[in-house]
Amino acid sequence: MKKHIAVLAGDGIGPEITDAAIAVMNKIGEKYGHEFEFEHLLMGVCAIEKTGEPLPQYTIDRCLASDSVLLGAVGGAVGDKRIESLPGHLRPEAGLLKIRSALGLYSNLRPAKLFPALAGACPLRKDIAEKGIDLVVVRELIGGIYFGERGRGVGEGGEFAYDTEKYSVEEVTRIAKIAFELARKRRHHVTSIDKANVLESSRLWREVVHNVAKDYPDVELTDMLVDNTAMQLVKNPAQFDVVLTSNIFGDILSDEAAMITGSIGMLASSSLGATKRGLYEPIHGSAPDIAGKDLANPIATILSAAMMLRDSFDMIKEAEDVENAVNEVLNAGYRTADIMSEGKTQVKGSEMTKLILERI
Ligand code: IPM
Ligand code: MG
Q: Find the 101 Cα to ligand 1 centroid distance in Å.
A: 13
Q: Are 179 and 190 in contact (CB under 8 A)?
A: yes
Instruction: Mention every residue, 6+ apart, whose C-beta is less than 8 A from residue 40.
Output: 7, 9
Residue with the smallest CA separation from ligand 1 atom 10 is 251
CB burial string 184-198: b at 16+ within 10 A, e below: eeeeebbbbbbbbee
Residues serving a catalytic function are 146, 195, 227, 251, 255
For residue range 32-70, list pLDDT tens digits in order: 999 999 999 999 999 999 999 999 999 999 999 999 999
Longest dimension (CA), the chain: 68
Reduce the DSSP state of residue 37 to 3 states and report it: strand
- Tell me the ligand closest to 11's alpha carbon: 1
Distance 251 CA to ligand 1 centre (A): 6
Chain segment 177-224, per-residue pLDDT in tens: 999 999 999 999 999 999 999 999 999 999 999 999 999 999 999 999
As for ligand 1, residues whose beta carbon falls within 6 Å of it are 93, 96-97, 251
pTM for the structure as a whole: 0.93
Cβ within 8 Å of residue 25, ≥6 positions away: 5, 36, 305, 309
Q: Strand (E) positions, 21-174? A: 35-40, 68-73, 107-113, 134-140, 150-155, 158-163
pLDDT digits (tens, 9 = 90+) for 310-349: 999 999 999 999 999 999 999 999 999 999 888 999 999 9
pLDDT digits (tens, 9 = 90+) for 21-30: 999 999 999 9
